[in-house]
Chains A and B, each alone.
Chain A
Amino acid sequence: MLRLESVACSYGAKEVVKGVSFTLGVRDVMCLLGANGSGKTTLFRAILRFLPLTRGEVFVDGESIAQWPRRKLARTIAYVPQAHTPPFAFKVRDVVLMARTAHMNSVGAAKRHDYEIVERALESMGITELAETEYTQLSGGERQMVLVARALAQEAKLLVMDEPASGLDFGNQIRMLTEVRRLSERGVSVLITTHSPNHAFLCASRVAVMKAGRLLACGAPESVLTSSCLEEAYGVPLQVIDIGNGNHTCVPAASRLRPQIGWEGSPDLPRRWSDMSI
């Protein structure tokens, strides 16, 4: 379905993604993991053509998407951004109807068919009663559901979701990830980023782990989500525990936590735990 061939891209002179290749099959849910600054979001932006590639190519069904017009791209790949507050109070139904832009004629007159698809998308996310509400009045979790409904109404084969569980409470995170899993049963492929390996255990059929712009590992969750791989990705001691029934969870390896970890990232923070004078 989706194939990346040594994709690289950069912000200015700084190369952030340094040659990433993977394939995503039909009905696959691929979870992209990695520390802050590992290039996950940049890779997403490259796939969606928000950023030009410096090397490599992205293929959908064997066809390079580099020259596709936006309309064609939008009918193939739907993007679920992180929920944000737009400046104007559109009705939820109008927000979801925006998904039909790529299917409308250039004047943008919605037909009955478009409204029916919008209703179905709202229904399948269980948010029909929100249709007339103002989008800006919704909670973060509801907004995220609306954005997923919008992606569904776009009728694309691939859904790209940027941290769909961020900002959601514990229950909504699980609901959202279960929903992601259900999406794949309808025949769409899903590519999501997340900050928690446990989310990958919940919904992914494939996992890719990024570090410093490269793929550290890519494959089935059981083979990729090991303590050694995750420790390498996040730079903290971690432990993957079998909790029975074939389920796993990832927790900090507390006994090894205190002495040896250095903060990566902000130089203003104490470099080591021991530097912190608590």
Chain B
Amino acid sequence: MKFVLLSLLLVVVTVASVVLGRYHISIAAWRRFLLDPRNGDVATAVLLRVRLPRILGGILIGAGLSASGAAYQGLFRNPMVSPDLLGASAGAGLGASVAILLNCGAAAIQGISFLAGLGAVGLTCFVAGRVRRGNDPVLAMVLSGVMVASICSALVSLTKTVADPEVKLPAITFWLMGSLASIDNTNIVWLLALIPVGILVLMFMRWKLNVLSMGEEEAASLGVDTRRARWIVVLSATVLTTAAVSLSGMIGWVGLVIPHLTRMIIGPNYKGLLPASVILGSAYMLLVDDISRSATAGEIPLGILTHLIGAPFFLYLLVRTKQGWA
């Protein structure tokens, strides 16, 4: 029942997103488009080249960030964890900044950013593997992640100070703010290839995520190969986050708030939590993007809005939740 309602929400938001936008599409244009999607109208071009890819991109990015956030919250046994935890977005941000600095094209920026995100998480895992204090591999990963992310953001600042202030500095700044505006027919393929695979792998891990959230040793005693499970989850969550961020720039709070909210609706069992987070995350991302496109004459960067909406909403959840973490 709850799933039906959530899916309905996504359908409604998707339809609204298709209809809404700065370029008004008349009913007659709609009819022509639906009868013959290959006609030469401007409206058709707007729909096919701009609006539909952007909506599909929003769905995929929202889904990917929420799924990886949900998975991390279980793996790290902490509802305050976001997909950025191991440095994925900080690394992607650094990669993009450097690529912009080097005059790369859009595709190269995206590719370098993706690889840098993977690299940052790889570095985190490598460092965590060297940590030999205590018997808590999860804590080692968290601490290494904080460190790697901090180094990345320092280097991003460095690229900003040396960037040419007329062209490159604004480009870096806008990239970091996050937006779905750069999604088009070609780079959407990237998301279509990576995000469903990542979500599928996490869905296969749904039961192990439940068990892992009880603690490392308990999970092991229940028969989970915790090391292997951790690798699979970290790898797929990283691919999801980096694929999303390398295309959209930094979009904060989605991966933290959405799994949290979904847990309040569906409960903590990943069997329901993961698919519901995916649906709710997609709807939320579309909704925020609609606001970003339509609220003002110019476009408000999406990343600013997710912060502006996400943080107060999270505070509201904190106040509302009386005990423990729902």
Contact = CB atoms under 8 A, between A and B. Distances in A.
A70 B225 contact: yes
Interface in A71-125: 71, 73-75, 77-79, 81, 84-91, 94-95, 98-99, 101-102, 104, 106-110
A77 B217 CA distance: 13
Contacts, number: 87
Given A81-B218, A104-B207, A88 B223 contact: no
A170 interface: no
Contacts of A87: 77-79, 213, 325
B62 interface: no
B208 interface: yes
A259 interface: no
Contacts of A69: 225
B268 A89 contact: yes
Which of B267, B268, B269, B326 has most A Cβ within 10 Å?
B268
B206 interface: yes
B210 A90 contact: yes
Interface in B209-243: 210-211, 213-215, 217-218, 220-226
Given A71-B223, A109-B207, A88 B74 contact: yes
B320 to A, nearest CB: 15
Given A86-B215, A87-B78, A74 B207 contact: no
A110 B324 CA distance: 28
Contacts of B222: 74, 98-99, 101-102, 154
User: Chain B contact residues: over half helix, strand or loop, or mixed?
Assistant: loop
A89 B214 CA distance: 11
A106 B229 CA distance: 11
A98 B210 contact: yes
Contact of A136 (B211, B224, B324): B324
A101 B79 contact: no
B204 interface: yes
A50 B136 CA distance: 11
Contacts of A108: 206-208
A71 B226 CA distance: 11
B268 A88 contact: yes
Nearest to A49: B220
Contacts of B204: 106-107
Contacts of B206: 108
A48 interface: yes
Interface of B: 74, 77-79, 135, 204, 206-208, 210-211, 213-215, 217-218, 220-226, 263, 267-269, 324-326
Interface of A: 45, 48-51, 69-71, 73-75, 77-79, 81, 84-91, 94-95, 98-99, 101-102, 104, 106-110, 136, 154
